[in-house]
Each structure stands twice: as C-alpha cells, then as structure tokens.
Homo-oligomer: A and B are copies of this chain.
C-alpha cells in the first residue's frame, strides 16, 4: 500500500523526483549525474527513488543546457547512383563498426541518408540542426568541394574517403592507389597482359584504384587499361557487365573490379559466357567482403580493414571534439590471394 502510493505518482522530471525525495531539483541533478558534491546517503535515496519510478533525466533538456547532445551524426551522401549504395555491404559493415565504437565511447548515432542533388546544403543542415556534437561523413561521393567548404568553419567532422594531396578536411580511408597497384601487380603476375577496370571511375575512391592499376600497367609497358563503367546496384550492374563482356571479353585477359560485389557479379556473368576463371580471365576485386571467400572460385582481392577504419574515424572525431587539430589517416590495403588471379 505504501509502495502503491508512491508508485502511483508519475515522475516526469527532476522536480517531481526532488519533491518526493524532499530535496531541491539541483541536488537531484547532481545526484543522478554522479557528482561528488552530494552526500552519499541522499544520493542513494535519490537513486533508489529514480530506479523505483523508472525515471531518467530528459536528454533533450540536458543537451540544451549543456550545449552538447551526446549524439554523433553519420551521414551517407548518395551520388547520382542513389539507390542501393547504403545497402552496399561495405558501407553497412562500416556503419556497424561505427555503431559499436561510438556506443563504447558513450555516444549515440544519428543516421541520415541524403541525396545531395536534391538538397544542396545537406551538410550544413545536419550540422546546424543542433542535434549532433559532430559528424562522420561516409563517402565523399561527388561532394568533395562542399565538404571542403564546410571543413573550414566546422571542426568536429571526419570523412571516410580518399585522401587527396592538400585537402583541408580530415579523412580516413584506405590507400586506394596503392591497392590498385597491388591488384594490377597480382593480375599481371598471374599472367594477364591486357587489363580492364570494372567500375565507375567518377567516384573518387574508384578513380584512385584505377590510377594505381594504371601506374603498374604503364610501368610494365602494357597497353592502357580500359574502363568498363557500371552502376553499383546489382540488377543494373549485372546487365551492364554482360554487355561489357559481350563487347570486350576477347580484347582482355584480366579484370580489376572496383568492388568485391562487382567482382562477384562479374564472375557470375563470366561463367554464363563460358569464360574460365582464372584460365581465360584473371579477376581481382577490392574490399575483401565475406562474399569474396564464397564465390567459386574464391576471389583474389585487396582487403580494406573496415574495423580499423571505424576505429580511426571515431578516434579522430573525438580528438577533434576535444579541440585537437588532427591529420588524416591513410590505412594500408592488403593483397589477399585466392583463386581468381
């Protein structure tokens, strides 16, 4: 009955709880925040009451007063190639790791997908919303310039993407160019001499991978690598790959795919065309997603360390939140030789 009476009272805010505990709101606030200024006994009493009534301080109010929200924004700009990009395995895995890392550091994660062409100031909007303490941008897409602009006036931002000499925003990413070199070297070592790059080279990361491969082709005195542009969504890509193969398969004996996902699709199409891998055609991918182990034959690829990437992003962001000025972080790719090259 006594419990009944107390439980019946609705505790909506710190003031209600203060009344119950017979103290002032300020004391409750301090107690719940675990500050040392409050007497152990009162603190315990307050904590007990809070638990009993399932009360938790309102984060919005707290955020407003403290001018920090405990939330990090994660934004994925979708290029022209909007669709599917977010369900792309790579980004999703990265997102998963980010969620882990941020949680571990006590932050929440607010996810936003944006289509920059429909919404020019997507980045300022997010930052200016007052809802987030900092922002992680996943993928530069074709928004390099806008990101640069914002970086000048806003500190707590870190971007996953490609590092370009002299850029002003803090970026974390794999050394794509080096990765491209590794892939090309492997294809050539496996016997290929006429290479093609499968993927859309207008995306910065992909362009760098292509450039790396081209470095090697040139150094080896091989003919320039031809490009076979595709979209990223599986349905369109399959079709486009089939067309590319129909038109070009006879002119090449090695394919460097921008992504494992593309490589896997390509493998399927090659099989459909009756082209043997690695016999008639060498193939290399990029990312080392789980699927790379499961294709038949398993895929030779270039690994990106996604977990390290996520850790880097969060670590740099926290340092920037603390006011530090941080350099970009470029991670080394690693060649993983399996059976396709």
Contact = CB atoms under 8 A, between A and B. Distances in A.
A291 B291 CA distance: 8
A124 to B, nearest CB: 6
Greatest chain B CB density within 10 A among A64, A103, A234 is at A64
Interface stretch (A15-23, A87-95, A218-226, A314-322): A87-95
B125 A99 contact: no
Contacts of A60: 60, 63-64, 69, 130-131
A86 B61 contact: no
A110 interface: yes
Q: How large is the interface on A (under 10, 10 to 19, 20 to 34, 35 or more residues)?
A: 35 or more
A56 B125 CA distance: 7
Contacts of A264: 294
A68 to B, nearest CB: 10
A143 interface: no
A150 B86 CA distance: 31
Nearest to A92: B92
A184 interface: no
A211 interface: no
Most buried by B among A55, A64, A111: A111
Given A87-B92, A113-B103, A290-B234, A56 B108 contact: no
A112 interface: yes
Interface centre among A60, A69, A89, A293 (most CB of B within 10 A): A60
Given A92-B87, A268-B294, A111 B113 contact: no
Contacts of A69: 60
A105 to B, nearest CB: 13
A263 to B, nearest CB: 11
- Most B-side CB within 10 Å, residue of A54, A59, A99, A110: A59
Contacts of A54: 124, 128
A89 B87 CA distance: 8
Contacts of A131: 59-60, 71, 108
Interface string A46-65: 00000000111111110110
A42 interface: no
A59 to B, nearest CB: 5
Nearest to A233: B290
Contacts of A293: 234, 268
Contact of A99 (B113, B234, B290, B295): B113
Nearest to A84: B96
Most chain B C-beta atoms within 10 Å of own C-beta, residue among A56, A131, A264 = A131
Interface string A252-289: 00000000000011011001000000000000000000
Interface of A: 54-61, 63-64, 69, 71, 86-87, 89, 92-93, 95-96, 99-100, 103, 108-113, 124-125, 128-131, 234, 264-265, 267-268, 271, 290-291, 293-296
25 contacts: A56-B124, A56-B128, A56-B129, A57-B130, A58-B64, A59-B130, A60-B64, A60-B130, A60-B131, A61-B64, A64-B64, A86-B96, A86-B99, A87-B89, A87-B93, A87-B96, A89-B92, A99-B113, A103-B112, A108-B111, A108-B131, A109-B110, A109-B111, A109-B112, A110-B110
